[in-house]
């Protein structure tokens, strides 16, 4: 069962349906549309209170009090949507994760019979070299990772397949007083105080990143720009752990007189010494620490990134931490 809070009645507006609008990326995405009367925004929400703003202040927002487990109850609504952005996901390793991330996700797409384009959020964790899915993710990834791998592998069977564009976020940062923190920023901001110890370590890791404000820009591009692919990995140029700690030192004003190299072999040795049991997926990630892909960013679609470099990102984190 669900109920909708309907306040908008512009017959000329294009209808945009968004799942996951209560999350970090969802809030930044709403920033791009709430003041635009050309769009009627339909938000899938379990609890309206999860929004960090008063939806009643925006006449073009329609809230559908529902979750992915009951997505079929919105069949009539979804059949009228012009555009769809599916950000919502379930974490963990329960049966509900599989139902939501696979079965109900495919059901959602099948109900979008009119949508011109559907932007689907997967995860770069299921990809390897060449931006191709890796068997390891589907075989022994976490429940979340395996469910995302399965859903992506089943997309060609969807009647909406030709209209679906899959995006694979890399490391997502973001959040402030008016936007929920991403899972990564939620862990980073409160632990900045440990920088005085972390600055001495050099971990054999490389990765891409993007702030949610730039991810929102990318979603807009994926919805309305001409595209030559059906899947994109979203991220700024790759950075290494050494670059991260060096830039942290610059931003927070701490010196780094030396580095202690932490290799994969050393991590395994520590786990063995402290009797830490690692699963197959954890071992795979430690043995393959370079998460590098062919990425796109706002500049590739004619936009300008708000936080394009590691330094601008860390300055933003510093400001949010009040450091």
Tokens 């703003």, residue located: 53
Per the structure, the complete domain to which residue 118 belongs is given by 3-175+208-235+292-304
Tell me if 196 is assigned to some domain: no
User: What's the distance, CA 33 to chain centroid?
Assistant: 18
Tokens 């073009």, residue located: 60
Among 232, 237, 220, 222, residue whose Cα is nearest residue 308: 237
Among 4, 138, 7, 135, residue whose Cα is nearest residue 60: 7
CATH number at residue 142: 3.40.50.720
- What digits encode the pLDDT tens for the residues 164-176? 999 999 999 999 9
Tell me if 11 is assigned to some domain: yes
95, HSE (Cβ side, Cα atoms, 13 Å): 0
- What digits encode the pLDDT tens for the residues 236-255? 999 988 888 888 778 877 77
Tell me if 145 is assigned to some domain: yes
- What digits encode the pLDDT tens for the residues 56-90? 878 889 999 988 999 999 999 999 999 999 999 99
Taking the C-alpha atoms of residue 75 and residue 131, their distance in angstroms, rounded to an integer, is: 33
| Choice between 31 and 48, residue whose per-residue pLDDT is larger | 31
Tell me if 220 is assigned to some domain: yes
Tell me if 247 is assigned to some domain: no
Q: What is the tally of structural domains in the chain?
A: 1
128-156 as b/e: b if 16+ CB within 10 A: beeeebbebbbeebbbbbbbbbbbbeebe
pTM: 0.90
- What digits encode the pLDDT tens for the residues 130-173? 999 999 999 999 999 999 999 999 999 999 999 999 999 999 99
Tell me if 139 is assigned to some domain: yes
Tell me if 143 is assigned to some domain: yes
Tell me if 222 is assigned to some domain: yes
């Amino acid at each position: 069962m669900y109920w909708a809070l309907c306040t908008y009645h512009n017959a000329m507006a294009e209808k945009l349906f968004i799942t996951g609008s209560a999350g970090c990326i969802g809030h930044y995405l709403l920033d791009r549309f709430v003041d635009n009367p050309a769009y009627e925004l339909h938000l899938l929400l379990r609890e309206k209170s999860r929004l960090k703003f008063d939806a009643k202040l925006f006449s073009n927002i329609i809230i559908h009090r529902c979750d992915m487990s009951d997505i079929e109850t919105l069949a009539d609504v979804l059949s009228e949507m012009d555009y769809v952005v599916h950000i919502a996901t379930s974490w963990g390793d329960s049966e509900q994760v599989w139902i939501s991330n696979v079965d109900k996700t495919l059901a959602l797409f099948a109900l979008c019979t009119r949508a011109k384009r559907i932007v689907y959020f997967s995860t770069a964790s299921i990809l390897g070299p060449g931006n191709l899915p890796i068997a390891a993710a589907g075989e022994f990834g976490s429940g979340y990772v395996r469910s995302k791998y399965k859903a992506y592998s089943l997309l060609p069977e969807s009647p909406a397949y030709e209209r679906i564009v899959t995006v694979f976020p890399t490391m997502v940062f973001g959040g402030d007083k008016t936007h929920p923190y991403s899972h990564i920023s939620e862990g980073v901001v409160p632990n900045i105080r440990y920088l005085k110890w972390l600055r001495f370590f050099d971990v054999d890791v490389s990765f891409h990143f993007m702030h949610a404000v730039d991810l929102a820009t990318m979603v807009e591009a994926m919805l309305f720009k001409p595209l030559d692919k059906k899947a994109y990995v979203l991220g700024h140029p790759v950075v290494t752990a050494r670059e991260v700690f060096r830039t942290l030192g610059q931003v927070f004003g701490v010196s780094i007189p030396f580095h202690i190299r932490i290799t994969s072999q050393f991590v395994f040795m520590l786990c063995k010494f402290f009797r830490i049991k690692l699963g197959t997926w954890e071992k795979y990630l430690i043995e393959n620490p370079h998460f590098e892909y062919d990425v796109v960013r706002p500049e590739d679609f004619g936009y300008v990134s708000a936080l394009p470099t590691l330094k601008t990102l860390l300055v933003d984190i510093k400001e949010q931490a009040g450091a």
